[in-house]
Chain A
């Protein structure tokens, strides 16, 4: 076993072990448990940093050609042969940025919770990290499904245990809705595994061993499953409730990486394993994507609550990611990939900020906020930065994913795709409209609620890395994907 293989397993194992260790701490050592948990999250970054050194031939950019799965390193151990299940982990250019994002956000959230409400939350964050990283690293379909399910109950517990007033209903809606999606995933992956006789993603990528009918059926099942998770319009209705009620760290993880399991699955599993199905369904996906972008933006224009607005903005951003995927071109898929990471960074930061504002003002209603520029200028400044990044200003991370999704749609050509590109561009303009409206309401105007301008150290600690990465990815998108063509 090479050191890289050890690192690969450690990315999943360390947080899981950490969660177990934190869970057995007695209640009187609460603070020690929280520090231990954060330390585990931080240590998990080490194998994540180590992984890129495993690649031999530069960043393996995604190409739409079959057989594109060239992992930098992989581990393959037989687990349950009766169910086609191998413990097969691997990492490549598609999954690595998302794994790194997961590790980063978990550390930030754990550190943010150091002074917060207890060790169980940190244990749950670590379980979530193990599940999400495992999903991104799985090279076996059944294993992918297994990790996909791991996050369900911990996220439920985070929302139901630490959420707002209406948390129980929101948590139940989240868990039932997403399990409903997972049901389709289970049917999809088992259909593929049974038809092809293997669940190994390396063998399956490119659609080998699956006839056309199976591919159509499997793609439909998988696409619905991932559409619920991502979530893609019109299957998004669980998202606003979950976000509004979730605690700050829950929202950050949910928006930052949990939703990415859907889009990642769409790229890696649905498009990767059933390319013929994807080809057939591409126009439908494209239309849904454009609808999501426009509908998401229009809904956002009417939102009156801060976290709800940010939650709905995710619908629009995920629409851009879906548009990129639906084009099935290399440009589009790279746009989707970078859009994924950018959205994780920006929305993560936005939810941290929304949490900070709600903690101080004790309300998230836009009507009751205002004048943040005067009462808490630094907070207003960071919020402005994040909002501008989210609306896609060139030079910041949000720009590349959205611009190139539109470019990819234009490149794809034809009346349909050109129309979709135009619609998406209009939706992008609407994004600017609602974020500027948000800034006008929150930062400008007369000071409504007294807001403490003091920003705690843990808040700077959580915001600074995200802000820096937003800038870095904006200036050098090659950090996420190889040089764009």
Chain B
């Protein structure tokens, strides 16, 4: 038997991403912070470029001798996902720069972990078998356990154990979910002998129940990663405890990884009923609980749980739902990144998201940031001016109705109404007039300006807000670009 031939060109995105991680580590050893940041930014861009160059139509590599059955499969979806992961990594790095400058986390380690996570994300997109897939998901999440807890406190700063406890929560839940997913993959393998995604088939015969149980466990294990109800309880606590940029990464990149992994499973194996139930529960519970949130990050966390429900609804269609789900996920991560970026910009460096009331009048003090946040909230609610979000909703509803899931489309649409209630409340708060104080004040606006100073926005954070907003607006006017890239 000859040695397996490996197509190194199709592996370029992986080389670029993993190389970035190594490069960052070395740069930290020999050079200063600026070089490290530059290395990660350049590496992220290189990964995206490699993914675009390799494209989605190249043959797979690491294939079984019999042909077909490859472990590394470039596809249009994989290429888009790699670009999005790279973009999110660079974006989250930009959001972290003010707090890194403050020394809340060691720059080198932070950047290395972020690059490793990006590598995992790239692998998830290209994975062609269950083992690569789960290894990819784990590589994506493993660095995040550390990133969530990685918080140094300045002398005199009030030390909080919130990041550490968030990290432990996330770690425990994640390990359990991985174990469940692995058990599912193992059961399915035992029953059908298939590990490669393109050999996965719905089992028949005496082992069918074992295979079905395996599929169900696999879906449940991965559903933890997208924080689907009832497997969601870790998400709000973890987001709230994590540093803001890391929370942004969790709710975008980490969620996207889970979606891709789920999509790979449900496209081949029948898990429609389970996914539909998860979808209905996720969007309804997510939206209803979000209605009662009083803290910004928790609101975003619950809203992103609800958003995952819309994606799961599309995935309940099986293979026809993969493209709409992926499109929705891309629209969603862009809008979510804007929301988090604006929150970072409005808060002092290193601070948490704070209560919603802290944002009162923020849109009047910083009109551009306010406009960006309104764009993001409107998009998440699926309304103009957030055209990207509107097209995302239409895409999912279109796919559901096209595949005779009108009832699920109805649930999605009705949930959009509940969702609007809290998005509109949060948006209106940005423009609310100063609260009346008990004592007579000559100029309430002046008092508000004194108690809510307008913070300077660091250049990196500003750049992320602008770039993400521009991407959202561009996708809103030319969504066909995304549909073409995915098709």
Contact = CB atoms under 8 A, between A and B. Distances in A.
A397 interface: no
Contact of B383 (A80, A153, A180): A153
Contacts of B391: 80, 83
A438 B204 CA distance: 77
Interface in B403-442: 406, 409-410, 413-414, 416-417, 420-421, 424-425, 428, 431
A194 B398 CA distance: 7
A82 B417 contact: no
A149 B394 contact: no
Contact of B394 (A131, A157, A171, A186): A186
B32 interface: no
Contacts of A152: 383-384
Contacts of A61: none
B317 to A, nearest CB: 13
Interface string A198-241: 00000000000000000000000000000000000000000000
B375 to A, nearest CB: 11
Contacts of B395: 82-83
Contact of A183 (B390, B394, B416, B480): B416
A186 B393 contact: yes
A128 to B, nearest CB: 12
A172 interface: yes
B402 interface: yes
Contact of A190 (B385, B409, B424, B483): B409
A146 B420 CA distance: 16
B384 A153 contact: yes
A190 B394 contact: yes
B132 to A, nearest CB: 30
A400 interface: no
A246 B164 CA distance: 49
Given A153-B383, A187-B409, A194-B402, A176 B394 contact: no
A149 B413 contact: no
Contacts of A160: 428
Contacts of A191: 401, 406
Given A186-B394, A194-B398, A149 B383 contact: yes
A190 B401 contact: yes
B323 to A, nearest CB: 9
Nearest to B371: A23
B114 to A, nearest CB: 33
B100 interface: no
A481 B231 CA distance: 60
Contacts of B424: 153, 156, 172, 175-176
A432 B412 CA distance: 45
Contact of B398 (A146, A184, A190): A190
Given A149-B390, A194-B402, A183 B413 contact: yes
Interface in A166-189: 168, 171-172, 175-176, 179-180, 183-184, 186-187
Interface string A139-164: 00010011001101100110011000
B479 interface: yes
Interface in B366-392: 378, 383-385, 387, 390-391
Interface in B170-228: none
Interface in B97-115: none
Contacts of B269: none
Contacts of B420: 175-176, 179
A184 B413 CA distance: 8
A157 to B, nearest CB: 8
B409 A179 contact: no
Contacts of A457: none
Nearest to B397: A190
A152 B383 CA distance: 8
A80 B421 contact: no
A217 B385 CA distance: 30
A445 B298 CA distance: 59
A81 interface: yes
B390 A194 contact: no
A397 B428 CA distance: 39
Contacts of B413: 183-184, 186-187
Interface residues of A, number: 33
Contacts of B487: 82
A131 B479 CA distance: 20
Contact of B480 (A79, A149, A193): A79
B417 A81 contact: no
Interface string A67-91: 0000000000001111110000000
B397 A187 contact: yes
A184 B417 CA distance: 11
A180 B410 CA distance: 11
A179 B420 CA distance: 8
B322 to A, nearest CB: 14
Interface in B238-257: none
Nearest to A26: B367
A83 B413 CA distance: 17
A142 B413 CA distance: 15
A364 B34 CA distance: 65
A15 to B, nearest CB: 14
Contacts of B406: 187, 191
A142 B417 CA distance: 19
A153 B378 contact: yes
Contact of B410 (A146, A187, A193): A187
A83 to B, nearest CB: 6
Contacts of B417: 176, 179-180, 183
Which residue of B387, B428, B483 has the most chain A CB atoms within 10 A of its CB atom?
Answer: B428
Contact of B384 (A80, A150, A193): A150
Contacts of B483: 80, 82
A332 to B, nearest CB: 31
A127 to B, nearest CB: 8
B409 A81 contact: no
Nearest to A131: B384
A179 B424 CA distance: 12
B101 to A, nearest CB: 31
B365 to A, nearest CB: 12
B378 A187 contact: no
A175 B413 CA distance: 15
Given A153-B378, A171-B428, 10 more contacts: A80-B391, A83-B391, A84-B398, A131-B384, A145-B394, A160-B428, A180-B417, A187-B406, A190-B409, A191-B406
Interface of A: 79-84, 131, 142, 145-146, 149-150, 152-153, 156-157, 160-161, 168, 171-172, 175-176, 179-180, 183-184, 186-187, 190-191, 193-194
Interface of B: 378, 383-385, 387, 390-391, 393-395, 397-398, 401-402, 406, 409-410, 413-414, 416-417, 420-421, 424-425, 428, 431, 479-480, 483, 487
> Which 6 interchain pairs have the tightest Cβ spacing?
A82-B483, A183-B413, A150-B384, A194-B402, A80-B480, A190-B401
27 contacts: A80-B391, A80-B479, A80-B480, A81-B480, A83-B394, A83-B479, A145-B394, A146-B387, A150-B385, A152-B384, A153-B383, A153-B384, A157-B431, A171-B428, A172-B425, A175-B424, A176-B417, A176-B420, A179-B383, A179-B420, A183-B416, A186-B413, A187-B401, A187-B413, A190-B397, A190-B409, A191-B401
